[in-house]
């Protein structure tokens, strides 16, 4: 039942057929550092914009830094984050992405896509759905209000000053909130500011009030996220993906009101956009963006996953570590990666609606690999695999059997050198 894909990556007709008339398309990745995943998503995105009239690209990225890319793509004047002159290139527009992991968006494939989107007659919007930009989003809210309503800017400063006691690291805020029962949180202040921005957005025309209100939403949900960080992984994960769902809904509403058409493609990791209800993580209490989108939008949504069997990947060994070009081990025995490899088709697409005799095997619970920004092959089973039922998790999946590492714009020595090839029997 596998539909072979050309190695050039230029032919994705089977994927476009699966997408059909859907207006919300979620494109995944099983690693945050695979060149072929980014290239395939870039080509699919270009075709969705030019052939199916999609009007926005939403990313697993921080909103204020992605807004700088949005302004560059659309030529909306001042594109520089916080202040300054308009950006002159995609490389400049991506300069806001300085937080680890830079390579997720500062890479050769994405910079080319940004230039492509800018060159198209039909201009797509580019928005970030994530919530890590607590302090940057606060600064953007205040910067907007200084231009639009100086008195409200002073009130916003007073509300956000609540965070001044916790330095500039939001994790410090979260740690204090979890460890000192008597410490007062900033929840009331950020909710009050969000409500104020939302009222202003309804009373003022143009996109800037929407951008400011979405930054205020980031602040409100980031405050809750960092407060929950030390109270368990499931709670903080659910807050983050619920925020991404809220941000996506806000983008869709804004596009519908501004243009009369809301068709959005989302880039995020498989773990965020494959329906969590089909995984062991979902049974443990996690929800995710894909589950929430399916529940809310039904047949209007398509969830497309990606997988690979072996190759190389750009990843770090530790959080905030350098980008390295690492070797990806072959898929584990009993995994979907192994099953797809044994099909003997190097690159293929599976439409889960048309599985035929393959349905049984793809509805079985099997191991599935997920590599994020950190890759630790020595603990691969524990660190990078979970059980899933792929036919219920996605509407379609693209398998690329052997893949290569995503090339960062800043190539550090560890990435250029790469990982020494595995030899036998030195691993003993």
Which pLDDT score is estimated for 365? 95
φ/ψ of 303, rounded to 5, equals -110, 115
27 DSSP β-pair partners: 267, 304
Residue pair 87/160 in contact (Cβ under 8 Å)? The answer is no
Which pLDDT score is estimated for 30? 98
DSSP state at residue 403: E
Cα gap 344→263, rounded to integer Å = 35
Q: Show pLDDT as tens, one digit a residue, over the chain (428 residues).
A: 899 998 655 579 999 999 999 999 999 999 999 999 999 999 999 999 999 999 999 999 999 999 999 999 999 866 554 455 789 999 999 999 998 999 999 999 999 999 999 999 989 999 999 999 999 999 999 999 999 999 999 999 999 998 887 767 777 777 777 665 556 788 899 999 999 988 888 778 789 999 999 999 999 999 999 988 877 889 999 999 999 999 999 999 999 998 888 999 999 999 999 999 999 999 999 999 999 999 999 999 999 999 999 999 999 999 999 999 999 999 999 999 999 999 999 999 999 999 988 888 899 999 999 999 999 999 999 999 999 999 999 999 999 999 999 999 998 877 887 775 554 343 33
N-terminal to C-terminal alpha carbon distance within the chain:
40
Which pLDDT score is estimated for 183? 63
Grouping H, G, I as helix, E, B as strand and the rest as coil, residue 33 is coil
Predicted confidence (pLDDT) per residue in 222-268, tens digit: 999 998 887 788 999 999 999 999 999 999 999 999 888 899 999 99
Sign of torsion, CA 172 198 67 9?
positive
Residue ranges per structural domain of the chain: 1-60+264-428, 147-241
Residue pair 30/272 in contact (Cβ under 8 Å)? The answer is no
Cα gap 36→126, rounded to integer Å = 21
Which pLDDT score is estimated for 173? 74
Predicted confidence (pLDDT) per residue in 167-198, tens digit: 677 777 777 776 655 567 888 999 999 999 88
DSSP state at residue 107: B
Q: Which helix (H) or strand (E) holds 327?
A: strand 324-328
Q: Among all chains, which residue has been given the structure tokens 């048309």?
A: 354
Burial 126-152 (b: 16+ CB within 10 A, else e): bbbbbbbbbbbbbbbbbbbbeeeeeeb
Nearest Cα neighbor of 72 from 6, 117, 21 is 117
Q: What is the dihedral of CA 82, 84, 85, 87, to 10 degrees?
A: -40
Topology classification of domain 1-60+264-428: EreA/ChaN-like  fold (3.40.1660)
pTM for the full predicted model: 0.93
Specify the length of the chain in residues: 428
Q: Are strands 324-328 and 310-315 parallel, antiparallel or unpaired?
A: antiparallel
Residue pair 396/351 in contact (Cβ under 8 Å)? The answer is yes
Q: Among all chains, which residue has been given the structure tokens 């941000």?
A: 247
Which pLDDT score is estimated for 360? 87
Q: Are strands 24-27 and 264-267 parallel, antiparallel or unpaired?
A: parallel
Which pLDDT score is estimated for 9? 53
Cα gap 198→184, rounded to integer Å = 25
Which pLDDT score is estimated for 305? 98
Burial 106-116 (b: 16+ CB within 10 A, else e): bbbbbbebbeb
**Residue 241 tokens, joined:** 């993906």
Cα gap 67→320, rounded to integer Å = 24
Which pLDDT score is estimated for 79? 53
Which pLDDT score is estimated for 84? 59
Quickly list H helices, 207-288: 207-228, 233-259, 270-273, 280-283
Which pLDDT score is estimated for 172? 75
């Amino acid at each position: 039942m596998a539909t072979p894909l050309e190695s050039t990556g230029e032919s994705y007709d089977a994927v476009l057929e699966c997408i059909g008339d859907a207006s919300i398309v979620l494109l995944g990745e099983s690693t945050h550092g695979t060149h072929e995943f980014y290239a395939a998503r870039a080509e699919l995105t270009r075709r969705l914009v030019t052939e199916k009239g999609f009007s926005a690209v939403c990313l697993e990225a921080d909103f204020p830094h992605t807004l700088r890319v949005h302004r560059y793509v659309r030529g909306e004047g001042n594109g520089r984050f916080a202040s300054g002159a308009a950006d002159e290139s995609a490389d400049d527009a991506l300069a806001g992405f300085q937080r680890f992991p830079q390579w997720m968006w500062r890479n050769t494939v994405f910079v080319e896509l940004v230039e492509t989107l800018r060159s198209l007659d039909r201009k797509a919007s580019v928005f970030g759905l994530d919530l890590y930009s607590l302090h940057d989003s606060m600064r953007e809210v205040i910067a907007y209000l200084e231009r639009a309503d100086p008195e409200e800017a002073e009130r916003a400063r007073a509300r956000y000053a609540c965070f001044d006691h916790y330095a500039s690291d939001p994790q410090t805020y979260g740690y204090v909130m979890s460890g000192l029962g008597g410490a007062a949180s900033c929840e009331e202040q950020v909710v009050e500011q969000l409500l104020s921005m939302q009222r202003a957005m309804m009373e003022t025309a143009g996109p800037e009030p929407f951008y400011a209100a979405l930054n205020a939403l980031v602040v409100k949900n980031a405050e809750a996220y960092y407060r929950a960080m030390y109270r368990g992984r499931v709670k903080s994960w659910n807050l983050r993906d619920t925020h991404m769902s809220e941000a996506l809904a806000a983008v869709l509403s804004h596009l519908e009101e501004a243009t009369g058409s809301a068709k959005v493609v989302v880039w995020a990791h498989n773990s965020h956009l494959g329906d969590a209800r089909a995984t062991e993580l979902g049974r443990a209490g996690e929800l995710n963006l894909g589950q929430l989108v399916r529940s809310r939008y039904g047949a209007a949504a398509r969830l497309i996953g990606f997988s690979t069997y072996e190759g190389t990947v750009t990843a770090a060994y530790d959080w905030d570590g350098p980008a390295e070009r690492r070797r990806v081990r072959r898929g584990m025995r009993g995994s979907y990666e192994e099953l797809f490899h044994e099909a003997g088709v190097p690159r293929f697409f599976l439409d889960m609606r048309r599985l035929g005799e393959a349905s049984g095997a793809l509805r079985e619970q099997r191991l599935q690999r997920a590599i994020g920004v950190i890759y630790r092959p020595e603990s691969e089973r524990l660190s990078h695999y979970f059980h899933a039922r792929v036919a219920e998790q996605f509407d379609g999946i693209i398998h690329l059997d052997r893949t290569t590492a995503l090339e960062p714009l800043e190539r550090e020595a560890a990435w250029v050198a790469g990982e020494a090839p595995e030899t036998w029997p030195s691993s003993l």
